[in-house]
């Protein structure tokens, strides 16, 4: 059965408006990121490969990284080696990672909530308990996954520390 | 289940196909084509990029696993 034209047009608009709104929000966020990267006053940055990765592949995008990138490539010639003991460095590494995870989780959650609330009040009043589900659903996901991620990270680090052949591990034999 | 015109599904198929084709070119090391990993790496260098990706991940998880989900034994 063919729906009446007025009903079909209304349904089309209902589907189109949220899609266009979502697209515009996403594009605005990407444009903001690009503007921050390439704005005239932005400092030129150097690419920092992650652990276990080689140099950036040609054509893999602009070489951009954080200001502390130079530290990852080792100290400059003539500089004193870091005085922190390995245990202290591991602790500070864990604290840094925890800080980054917490800031990412909190920032991502707040950004999603802001987008959902703006979408609900500005674009389409979705029926049902949309807002309540938007607040509690991602919280449930965060509550489930964050402990798992922390446990997996801890196990990975522990396995790496006790790897045979690594200096300081029980299975290591000095030559 | 709602029925939609075929063209709507075809457009989704073309969009996903284009993503995989672009990723394939990137993995084949064609000059100037970054892979999805390269792209995410660039985005994740910045706090706002990490927040946006995490928000996207939460949104996907919320839609796939939580919205419309009911307890199995609920009457």
Q: What is the pLDDT of residues A65-85, one digit of tens each?
A: 444 444 444 444 555 555 555
What total of structural domains would you count in chain A? 2
Positive or negative, the CA dihedral B50, A36, A52, B24 is: positive
Query: Which long-range contacts (C-beta less than 8 Å, at least 24 apart) are formed by A121-128?
Result: A122/A21, A123/A17, A123/A18, A123/A21, A124/A14, A124/A17, A124/A18, A124/A21
Residue A62 lies in a domain: no
Query: How much is the pLDDT for B71?
Result: 59
Q: What is the pLDDT of residues A21-39, one digit of tens each?
A: 777 777 787 777 777 767 7
Mapped onto helix, strand or coil, the DSSP state of residue B52 is helix
B42 chain-A contacts, CB cut-off 8 A: 61-62, 64
Residue A126 lies in a domain: yes
- Chain centroid offset of residue A62 CA: 19
- Distance from the Cα of A22 to chain B's closest Cα (Å) equals 12
Mapped onto helix, strand or coil, the DSSP state of residue A16 is helix
Residue B53 lies in a domain: no
Query: How much is the pLDDT for A70?
Result: 40
Q: Which structural domain, as residue segments, surrounds residue B14? A: 1-33
Residue A28 lies in a domain: yes
What total of structural domains would you count in chain B? 1
Interface contact flag, B47 A140, Cβ < 8 Å: no
Residue A99 lies in a domain: yes
Residue B75 lies in a domain: no
Q: What is the pLDDT of residues A112-169, one digit of tens each?
A: 999 999 988 888 888 888 888 889 989 999 999 999 998 998 898 888 888 777 655 5
A37 chain-B contacts, CB cut-off 8 A: 46
Residue A58 lies in a domain: no
CB proximity under 8 Å: B 12-71 to A: 29-35, 38-39, 41-43, 45-55, 57-59, 61-62, 65-67
Residue A70 lies in a domain: no
CA B53 – CA A104 distance, rounded (Å) = 9
CA A143 – CA A99 distance, rounded (Å) = 17
Interface contact flag, A109 B43, Cβ < 8 Å: no
pLDDT for residue A14 is more than 90: no
Query: How much is the pLDDT for A53?
Result: 44
A90 and A158: one domain? yes
Residue A75 lies in a domain: no
Q: Which structural domain, as residue segments, surrounds residue A160? A: 86-164
Residue B22 lies in a domain: yes
CA A67 – CA B30 distance, rounded (Å) = 30
């Amino acid at each position: 059965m063919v729906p009446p034209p007025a009903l079909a047009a209304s349904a089309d608009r209902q589907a189109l408006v949220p899609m266009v709104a979502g697209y515009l929000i996403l594009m605005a966020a990407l444009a903001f990121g690009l503007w921050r990267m390439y704005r005239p006053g932005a400092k030129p940055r150097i690419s920092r490969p992650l652990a276990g990765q080689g140099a950036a592949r040609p054509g893999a995008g602009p070489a951009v990284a954080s200001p502390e990138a130079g530290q990852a490539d080792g100290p400059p010639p003539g500089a004193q080696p870091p005085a922190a003991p390995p245990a202290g460095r591991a602790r500070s590494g864990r604290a840094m990672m925890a800080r980054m995870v917490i800031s990412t989780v909190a920032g991502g959650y707040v950004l999603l909530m802001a987008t959902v609330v703006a979408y609900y009040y500005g674009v389409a009043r979705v029926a049902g308990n949309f807002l309540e589900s938007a607040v509690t659903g991602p919280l449930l996901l965060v509550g489930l996954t964050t402990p798992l991620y922390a446990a997996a990270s801890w196990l990975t680090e522990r396995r790496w520390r006790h790897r045979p052949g690594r200096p300081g591990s029980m299975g290591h034999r000095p030559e | 289940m709602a029925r939609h015109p075929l063209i709507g599904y075809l457009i989704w198929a073309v969009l996903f196909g284009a993503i995989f084709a672009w990723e394939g070119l990137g993995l084949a090391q064609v000059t100037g084509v970054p892979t999805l990993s390269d792209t995410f790496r660039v985005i994740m260098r910045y706090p706002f990029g990490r927040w946006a990706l995490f928000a996207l991940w939460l949104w996907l998880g919320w839609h796939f696993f939580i919205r419309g989900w009911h307890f199995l034994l609920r009457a």
